[in-house]
Structure 1
Amino acid sequence: MTPRNRRRPLRPPVLPRLRPPSFSGRLHDARTATSVGRLLGIAFAVCFVTGLISHYLQRPPGWLADYLPSRPVWGYRLTQGLHIAFGLAAIVLLLVKLWTVYPRLFAWPPVRSVRHALERLSVAVLVATAVFQVFTGLLNIVEWYPWPFSFVPAHFAVAWVAAGSILLHIAVQAPEIKAHWGRRSAGTLALPAEDARDRRSLLLGVGAAVGVVTLTTVGQSFTPLKRLDLLAPRHPDHGPQGLPVNRTAAAAGVTAAALRDWRLEVLGPRPFALTLDQLRALPQARARLPISCVEGWSAEARWGGVRIRDLVERAGGRPGAGVRVVSLEVQGAYRVMEMGREYVEDPLTLLALTLNGGVLLPDHGYPARIIAPNRPGVLQTKWVTRLEVL
């Protein structure tokens, strides 16, 4: 074999040397992080306050149930609409905030002292809880739950941890935040002038992204913008009888056989039962009320039916009595619901029989459902079969 035909020995491939990442972007700085963090803090504050309102309206402690207000009728529609709108904006702001600070995650050495270790641990808790809140909230909007735990108590509990970690982070970073808060602060004046132009461009882009997300989703609750409702999972006008449906009769296990012999039982000092025809023969009331769901969508509709307070009075209930409502649903977290006295005594709280001028369809709760002002949609119980005067 000639030297030309001789095979060269195989050599192992040369692997590239692993080097720690380097960051040369000029916007990974404290001033940019402070500017974005200021907006993110506002978004999280609004979400926290409106989230508390939503939680305590859905699951009030016993001492609070009788004092929850039924007015203004649009109260829950406003607070939950703000909760979802600011929550979606927070996703954009959180991603940009993480982008501005993530080089610090690769700082070396990772821990320089006990104080530094505690500081990094607090940041880890802050990032983890913030990411958990915004993305589980996003999946709740589209009603996809790929986790084994219950969303509502987990989201509520982590909200407190997130709020505490934000306050701790602000306290620890207060000197740096103060140094880079305003345009004329000492920390800002020390930065290169060309960075200011890039930073303004970044913040304008962030504002545009937040604006686009808001305009294309807020129409699901703020109906004047419903024509721009392109990215939200619900449209306020889409659904039977002009109203969206979250839980259908089939999904709730409400069958035609169960509805065939339906009667309304009202339990109290003077219990009675009524057929649907007998209910329709009672004095009817009408109300124009929004139905607002925790997923963020809401829509106003015309409802007709019998006032709850009239049924309670007929059953011998005392003024100030509450009501327990039982549905035909086979199972579900809200199959049994309780209303405090503010809702029971409000003349707009109805056992609704009609929707937008027509008889309720099965998916909207036929033959009878609850509609009350300033109340989450999950508590506007459908397929009502029993009222218990408390």
Structure 2
Amino acid sequence: MRRLRLRLPPGLPLPKSPPSPVFTGRLHDPRTATVVGRALGAAIAVCFVTGLVSHWLQQPPSWAADALPSRPVWGYRLTQGLHVASGIAALPLLLAKLWTVYPRLFARPAVRSFAHALERLSVGVLVGSVLLQLVTGLLNTVQWYPWPWNFRPAHWAMAWVAVGALLLHLAVKAPVVAAHWTRRSSGTRELPVDDGPDRRSFVTAVAVATGAVTLTTVGQSLTPLGRAALFAPRSPGHGPQGLPVNRTAAAAGITRELTAGWRLQVAGPRPYELSLAELRALARYSAVLPIACVEGWSRNAHWTGARVRDLLDRAGAPPDARLRVVSLERDGAYAVTEMGASYARDPLTLLAVALNGAPLSPDHGHPARIIAPNRPGVLQTKWVTRLEVLLP
């Protein structure tokens, strides 16, 4: 079989590889990147700090367990609402930031020196870690986990990677950022006529997009904006007894047979048991406290029950004793929780038996559940069957 050979006419130049794209727009310049970067940095800073608060309240180190504050009662509601809102706001800001700097991907030579290679590697780590944090955090708000790893420890670890990469990037780019931080420092040259939308229009569009996604989701924790929460994963006013639930009784394996003949066991120096009727007879205290969940939604509710401090006193617990709370649920990650003395002794911490003037529904923890101020919703244990005094 004969091979066909393509012969070019004499004098015809050989084809060259396509040239790299040429970017002449001022909207890809350092000044625009700095303006967007300031807002993105602020959103990430708020998200990171409030994330630290959330993590330490959910899983405090042993030395801090008794020092965590139970006031203000709305503290966790505020910090977790800010955490989710700032994370959502950071998404359009990150996309805008990437748009302003992506032409540098086509800069040639790709690597100019060893230091330049390290800089590009750090940028790759920064972009990858921040994107992973924001996207997985957004999916967590809808409780969708299409990955094999445990979300919470991975989210915690990746936060430190992202912040470390961000600080390194800021250190490398500090001279450029300082040179373009203000309009005066970067100059006020006019934009070319064919440059498309000018910088102010671009920044305004980014601000409008960021404001829109924030206002249409933040209502899940900021009650006055509840009607505007068109894209919020949860509507805090919808659910049994006017309050959403993350885990139903059916999902937790709680049945009527399991709660029939329920008795509360209180283990301590003077252990005792209470029937549901006896516990309800002690339920003389009421409080308006929020349920605030890590997914970002929160809502105030009216709770009635017995004060935990009174139950501990009856069991002979010392003032500095911690408390272990055991649920009827067996397989949940938070079926057994602990609270420090600052929570256990707070007069607003209740073993609730009623919600919004009616007995607890099964989905809200019937026969009894914990409700405490300034505490993550995952630690407001439902279907409580046992309280254990932990002596210091």
- Same fold by TM-score greater than 0.5: yes
Q: 1:25 to 1:193 in 2, by over 3 A?
A: closer
TM-score normalised by length of structure 1: 0.93
> For residues 126 and 85 of structure 2, what CA distance do their matches in structure 1 show?
21
Of 24-33 and 345-354, the range deviating more from structure 2? 24-33
Residue type of the alignment partner of 1:220: Q
Partner residue in 2 for 1:355: 355
For the 8 Å contact 1:27–1:198, the answer to whether it is kept is: yes
What is the aligned partner in structure 2 of residue 277 from structure 1? 277
Alignment of 1:10-25 (within 5 A): 18-25=18-25
- AA at the equivalent of 1:212: A
Query: Residue 3 of structure 1 aligns with which residue?
Result: none
Q: Counterparts in 2 of 1:204-223, with a 5 A limit?
A: 204-223=204-223
Distance in 2 (alpha carbons) for counterparts of 1:221 and 1:50: 15
How far, CA to CA, are the matches of 1:176 and 1:191 in structure 2? 20
**What is residue 132 of structure 2 aligned with on the other side?**
132
Can you list the C-alpha shifts for 1:222-265, whole angstroms capped at 9, x where unaligned? 00111111000101101010001110011111111111121111
| 2:251 maps to amino acid | A
Deviation at 1:192, TM superposition (A): 3.6
Aligned to 1:115: 115
Matched with 2:324 is: 324
Distance in 1, matches of 2:109 and 2:243, equals 57
Indicate the residue corresponding to 2:11 in structure 1: none
Q: CA deviation at 1:330?
A: 2.1
Q: Give, in whole Å, the separation in 2 of the partners of 1:24 and 1:370.
A: 61
Q: What's the CA shift string for 1:139-181, capped at 9, x where partnerless?
A: 0001000111111111111111111111111110011111111
The 5 Å alignment of 1:336-355 reads 336-355=336-355
Name stretches of at least 5 consecutive residues in structure 2 with no aligned partner: 7-14
CA distance in 2, matches of 1:17, 1:316: 83
Paired residue for 1:156?
A: 156
Aligned-pair distance for 1:276?
0.3
- Corresponding position of 1:6: none
Q: CA deviation at 1:119?
A: 0.6
Counterpart AA for 1:152? R
Q: Distance in 2 between matches of 1:173 and 1:139?
A: 32
Equivalent pair of 1:31/1:188 in contact (CA under 8 Å): no
2: CA distance between counterparts of 1:29 and 1:371? Answer: 52
Summarize deviations over 1:15-54 as a string: whole Å, max 9, x none. Answer: 9965544434431111110000000000000001000000
Whole-angstrom CA distance in 1 between matches of 2:314 and 2:46: 43
In structure 2, C-alpha distance between the alignment counterparts of 1:196 and 1:50, rounded to whole Å:
39
Counterpart CA distance in 2 for 1:365 and 1:33 is 50
Kept after mapping to 2: 8 A contact 1:284/1:305? yes
Q: How far off its partner does 1:108 sit?
A: 1.7
Distance 1:198 1:32 in 2: 10
Contact preservation (8 Å) 1:44, 1:87: yes
Give me the whole-angstrom Cα distance separating, in 1, the residues matched to 2:272 and 2:118. Answer: 64
Residue 193 (structure 1) shift = 6.8
1:226 maps to: 226
Query: Contact 2:33–2:97 at 8 Å: present in 1 too?
Result: yes
Q: Tell me the SS of whatever aligns to 2:158.
A: helix
Say if 1:307 and 1:348, in contact at 8 Å, map to a contact too.
yes
Could you say what secondary structure the match of 1:67 adopts? coil
- Give the aligned partner of residue 93 of structure 1: 93
Question: For the residues of structure 1 that align with 2:58 and 2:79, how far apart are their CA atoms?
Answer: 13
1:283 Cα deviation after fit: 4.8
Unmatched runs of 5 consecutive residues or more in structure 1: 1-8
2:145 matched residue in structure 1: 145
1:173 aligns with 2:173: yes
Residues 179 and 188 in structure 1, CA contact (< 8 A), matched pair in contact too: no
Match of 1:46 in 2: 46
Distance 2:188 2:24 in 1: 20
| 1:254–1:330 CA contact under 8 A, matched in 2 | no
Deviation at 1:107, TM superposition (A): 1.6
C-alpha distance in structure 1 between counterparts of 2:240 and 2:388, whole Å: 30
Counterparts of 1:283 and 1:159, CA distance in 2: 42
CA deviation after TM superposition for structure 1 residue 200, in Å: 0.2
Q: Secondary structure at the match of 2:26?
A: coil
Residue 117 to residue 75, structure 1, CA distance change in 2 (3 Å)? same
Instruction: Please list, as runs of the form range in 1=range in 2, the aligned pairs for 1:356-375 lying within 5 A after superposition.
Output: 356-375=356-375
Share of identical aligned residues, percent?
A: 66
SS for the counterpart of 2:366 is: coil
Q: Which residue of 2 aligns with 1:188?
A: 187
Q: For residue 5 of structure 1, what is the aligned residue in structure 2?
A: none
Equivalent residue runs for 1:252-271 within 5 Å: 252-271=252-271
SS at match of 1:27: helix
Length, aligned pairs only: 377
CA separation of 1:231/1:312 partners in 2, compared to 1, >3 Å: closer, same or farther? same
Question: How far apart are the structure 2 equivalents of 1:33 and 1:283?
Answer: 58
Whole-Å separation in 2 of the counterparts to 1:106 and 1:197 = 22
Pick which of 88-97 and 273-282 moved more: 273-282
What value does the CA root-mean-square deviation take over the aligned residues? 1.8
Post-superposition CA distance 1:264-287 (Å, at most 9, x none): 110001111111001011252100
- The more displaced of 103-112 and 127-136 is 103-112
How far is the alpha carbon of 1:106 from its aligned partner?
Answer: 2.1
> Does the 8 Å contact 1:219/1:226 carry over to 2?
yes
What corresponds to 2:287 in structure 1? 287
Q: Which amino acid aligns with 1:189?
A: T
Question: What SS does the corresponding residue of 1:318 show, helix, strand or coil?
Answer: coil
- The Cα shift of 1:320 comes to 1.5
**Residues 187-226 of structure 1: CA deviation (Å, up to 9, x unaligned):** 3335647669711001110111111111111110000111
